[in-house]
Amino acid sequence: MIIVMNASATDSQLAAVIEKIREAGLTEHISRGTERIIVGAIGDERSLSEQAFELLPGVERAIHIVKQYKIVAREGHPDGTIVDIRGVKLGGKDVQVIAGPCSVETQEQMHLAAAGVHAAGCKLMRGGAFKPRTSPYAFQGLGVTGLEYFGKAAREYKLPIVTELMDVRMLDTFMEHDVDVIQIGARNMQNFDLLKEVGRVNKPVILKRGLSATISELLMAAEYIAAGGNHNIILCERGIRTFETAYRNVLDITAIPVLKKETHLPVVIDPSHAGGKAWMVPALARAAVAAGADGLLIEMHPNPCEAWCDADQALTPQELKDLMVSLKAIAQAIGRDLA
């Protein structure tokens, strides 16, 4: 950590800073400039708080030099992590497309959806049994019944299933129903008790970036899961909140190269939630693959017009199939492939 002090800081103010550094088991290194005094704290600075130093008289600011995340950092872990989901590999050469409806509605809908996912050549299926909804009066998901419909439909095509966990009390139920990938939604990215619990199980987790979470916060949230022992984490960028009102969210494509540099975890993109309209999905999905995403989460519904939620962002089975063709061409253009 670097502590910047005023050039006019007194000796006793400097001594107080030094004492605080030594208390934490680090050593100081002082450099007097013309306008400021710079104090470096040498040793493992993760235990130091910037704020605790900024409070001391004479101190202008304190700056962490080392990133706060450790297990998930690419530094010291140069190879990318490949998450194995019942034999389907996410994070390797193949780009994986995880498709399916926003929410589980009926057994028949799920059968049709699974057939469409399979027909398009996707190897993983998504669908929500528990739905986070802005309004308490909106459809909240079928719950456990939804997990059953989903499991039954997906098993027919041997598709591993991805579904969202909102309530920590439902984790055991998820395990009993053989959910293959637990999704933590954007609104729960900093629900720390939930992160700790999924950190204790042995299941892959897709962690979605919060609407206004920084890259650093996303990685710290992943670190919560990793610190519990579960390293099968997949990060998901799904659009961030900005001032723009012409579309629901802004898909942050820059997050892809930056995350790939900062962490060894796989990175997937959700173009459906980002834009919020089905007609935007192909352009966003293509951009994500071109930018180096390891996978995509795409909403597809056997009959979008009848969908119980987010109707206007789902592709039809045919649209998904068509999109897969161009995604494969782009993947190959950058030396990857699409399963």
Contact set for a second copy, span 156-215 (CB under 8 A): 166-169, 187-188, 190-193, 196, 211-212, 214-215
Site for a second copy in 137-156 (CB under 8 A): 137, 140
Q: State how far the alpha carbon of 293 is from the alpha carbons of 44, 150, 243, 331, in Å.
A: 33, 26, 25, 10
What is the distance between the alpha carbons of residues 209 and 185, in angstroms, rounded to a whole number? 8
Of these, 12, 23, 34, 79, which contacts a second copy (CB under 8 A)? 34
Least distance in angstroms from the C-beta of 50 to a second copy: 9
CA–CA gap between residue 333 and residue 309 (Å, rounded):
35
Q: Which is nearer to a second copy, 157 or 227 (CB)?
A: 227
The yes or no reply on residue 10 touching a second copy (CB under 8 A) is no
Tell the burial category of 330 from Cβ atoms under 10 Å away from its Cβ (0-12, 13-18, 19+): middle
Q: Draw the binding track, 240-279, toward a second copy (x: CB under 8 A; -: no contact).
A: xxxxxxxx--xxxxx-xxx--x------------xx-xxx
Our CB check for a second copy shows the closer of 33 and 87 to be: 33
Is residue 127 within 8 Å of residue 161, measured between CB atoms?
Answer: yes
Does residue 134 belong to the site contacting a second copy (CB under 8 A)? yes
Query: Looking only at residues 113 through 132 of this chain, which bind a second copy when binding is defined by CB under 8 A?
Result: 132
β pairing state of 83-85 and 88-90: antiparallel
Q: Is 19 in the site for a second copy (CB under 8 A)?
A: no
Question: In whole angstroms, how close is the CB of 169 to a second copy at the nearest point?
Answer: 7
The pairing of strands 181-184 and 161-164 is parallel
296 binds a second copy (CB under 8 A): no
- The bridge status of strand 205-208 relative to strand 233-237 is parallel
CB of 86 to a second copy, least distance (A): 28
297 lines the binding site for a second copy (CB under 8 A):
no
Helix (H, G, I), strand (E, B) or coil at 126: strand
